[in-house]
C-alpha cells in the first residue's frame, strides 16, 4: 500500500465549552495529490488543520503526517508539513529574505541547505528580497506566507483558505505555483468554501459539514453531483403518480399537482424536461428552478448518508 501523505482516523474535537468541531472524521490524503477540503464557515476545517499543526489538541482519534503519528513523533510530523494560515503573520520590519531565513532557522534548516532566494524567485518576490515586508502589497505578503511555509521543504503543504480576499490575477499566480509544487512532488491540501476553486485544482475533494465528513470523492464524481438541477413544476390537474421520462434523474410528487424533477444540466435543459411533462399529457401551470450549488451537494450527500 502506498503510504498516505496524511491519514486521519476517528478524529474528534470538542472545545472547552462543549462545542464539537470535529465528529469522528476519518480520511486519507494520498501522496502526490492536490486535495481539497471543502466546507462552509464553521465546518471544522481550521480545527482539523490546527490539530495537524500541533496548535489544537484533539479530543479523540489519530492523525499522521507522512507516516509520522502526531502524538508519537510530533517533531517528524511537524517537519513533514508546511501550513499557510488564513492570517498573514510576519514581522513587518524584516525583509522577505530575512523572514524566510528566520523561519528556516526555527525549523533547524542549516544555512547551506536554505532555499531563500529560490523560494523568493518562485513566488515572484526576488526583487523584493531586501525590502521591508511592510512595503509589500497584500498579494506579495500572501506569496511570502507560502514561501515561509516551504522553507523546510516539507512533502505536504496545506493552504487554509488561500484565496480569501485575493484578487483574480493573484489567485491564478498562486494556483500556478501550487501546481508547480505539486508537479515537483509536493502533496497539497487546500481548504476553501468554493467548489469551483477546488474543482479547478484538486484531484480529490472531501467535504466536511458540522464537523462530519460527508464526502470524499475524486473531483469528477463530486462535480457530477453539482450538475444536478431541480425544477418544481405545478401542473393543471391532480396526478396520482409521477410520470417518468428518460431525461429525469429523479421525479417526486411533492403535492397533488406539484412535481419536483431533478435532472443533470450537462445532459438536458429545462425546456426538454418541461416538454417531457407536456408529453405525458399534463399542462404546466408554474415552474421554478434551482441551481445545484455546493449547498445542494451537501444536502444531497447528507440525505444520501442518512439513507
Ligand atoms: N477555540 C475555540 N473554542 C471554542 N469553539 C471553537 C474554537 N475554535 C473554533 N470553534 C468552533 O468550532 C467550530 C469549527 O470551527 P473551525 O474554525 O474549525 O471551522 P472552519 O471550517 O475552519 O470555518 P472557517 O472557514 O470559518 O474558518 C465552529 O463552530 C467554531 O465556532
Element (H, E) at 236: none
- Tens digits of per-residue pLDDT, 247-291? 888 899 999 999 999 888 888 988 899 999 999 999 999 999 776
Give distance in angstroms: CA of 142 to centre of ligand 1: 22
Pocket of ligand 1 (CB under 6 A): 15, 17, 19, 21, 39, 41-47
Cα separation, 34 vs 51, whole angstroms:
20
Report the residue among 11, 15, 18, 21 best suited for mutation to probe ligand 1: largest number of ligand atoms under 8 A from its CB: 21
The low-confidence residues of the chain, meaning pLDDT below 50, are 1, 307
Task: Please tell me the predicted confidence (pLDDT) of residue 39.
Answer: 85
Give pLDDT, residue 164.
67
Q: How far apart are the first and last CA of the chain?
A: 31
pTM summary value? 0.78
Pairing of strands 34-38, 187-192: parallel
pLDDT at 307: 44
**What is the domain class of 4-224 according to CATH?**
alpha beta
158-204 pLDDT, tens digit per residue, is 998 877 666 777 778 788 888 989 999 999 999 887 777 788 899 99
Torsional class of 118: left (φ above 0), alpha (ψ -120 to 50), beta (otherwise):
alpha
- For the chain, the average pLDDT equals 88
Ligand 1: residue whose CA is nearest its atom 4: 15
Which CATH homologous superfamily contains domain 228-291? Alpha-L RNA-binding motif (3.30.70.1560)
* Domain range summary for the chain, segments of one domain joined by +: 4-224, 228-291
DSSP category for residue 55: S
Query: Which residues are CB-neighbours of 124 under 8 A, at least 6 positions away?
Result: 143, 173
Residue 27: the pLDDT is 97
pLDDT on residue 266: 82
At 1 the pLDDT is 44
At residue 220, the pLDDT reads: 82
Do 19 and 12 contact (CB within 8 A), yes or no? no
Query: For residue 223, what pLDDT is reported?
Result: 74
Closest residue CA from atom 1 of ligand 1? 15
Amino acid at each position: 500500500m502506498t503510504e498516505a501523505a496524511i491519514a486521519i482516523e476517528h478524529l474528534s474535537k470538542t472545545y472547552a465549552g462543549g462545542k464539537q468541531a470535529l465528529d469522528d472524521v476519518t480520511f486519507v490524503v494520498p501522496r502526490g495529490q492536490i486535495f481539497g477540503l471543502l466546507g462552509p464557515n464553521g465546518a471544522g476545517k481550521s480545527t482539523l488543520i490546527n490539530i495537524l499543526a500541533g496548535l489544537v489538541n484533539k479530543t479523540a482519534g489519530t492523525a499522521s503526517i507522512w507516516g509520522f503519528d502526531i502524538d508519537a513523533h510530533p517533531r517528524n510530523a511537524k517537519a513533514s508539513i508546511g501550513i499557510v494560515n488564513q492570517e498573514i503573520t510576519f514581522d513587518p520590519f524584516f525583509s522577505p529574505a530575512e523572514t524566510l531565513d528566520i523561519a528556516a532557522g526555527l525549523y533547524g534548516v542549516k544555512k547551506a541547505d536554505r532555499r531563500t532566494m529560490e523560494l523568493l524567485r518562485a513566488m515572484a518576490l526576488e526583487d523584493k528580497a531586501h525590502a521591508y515586508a511592510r512595503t509589500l502589497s497584500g498579494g506579495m505578503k500572501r506569496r511570502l506566507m507560502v514561501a515561509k511555509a516551504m522553507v523546510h521543504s516539507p512533502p505536504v503543504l496545506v493552504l487554509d483558505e488561500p484565496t480569501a480576499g485575493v484578487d483574480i490575477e493573484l489567485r491564478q499566480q498562486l494556483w500556478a505555483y501550487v501546481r508547480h509544487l505539486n508537479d515537483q512532488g509536493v502533496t497539497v491540501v487546500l481548504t476553501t468554501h468554493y467548489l469551483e476553486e477546488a474543482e479547478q485544482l484538486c484531484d480529490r475533494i472531501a467535504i466536511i459539514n458540522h464537523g462530519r465528513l460527508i464526502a470524499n470523492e475524486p473531483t469528477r464524481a463530486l462535480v457530477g453531483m453539482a450538475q444536478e438541477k431541480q425544477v418544481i413544476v405545478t401542473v393543471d390537474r391532480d396526478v396520482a403518480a409521477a410520470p417518468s421520462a428518460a431525461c429525469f434523474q429523479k421525479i417526486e410528487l411533492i403535492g397533488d399537482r406539484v412535481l419536483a424533477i431533478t435532472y443533470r444540466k450537462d445532459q438536458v435543459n429545462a425546456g426538454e424536461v418541461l416538454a417531457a411533462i407536456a408529453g405525458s399529457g399534463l399542462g404546466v401551470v408554474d415552474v421554478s428552478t434551482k441551481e445545484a450549488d455546493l449547498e445542494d451537494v451537501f444536502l444531497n450527500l447528507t440525505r444520501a448518508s442518512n439513507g
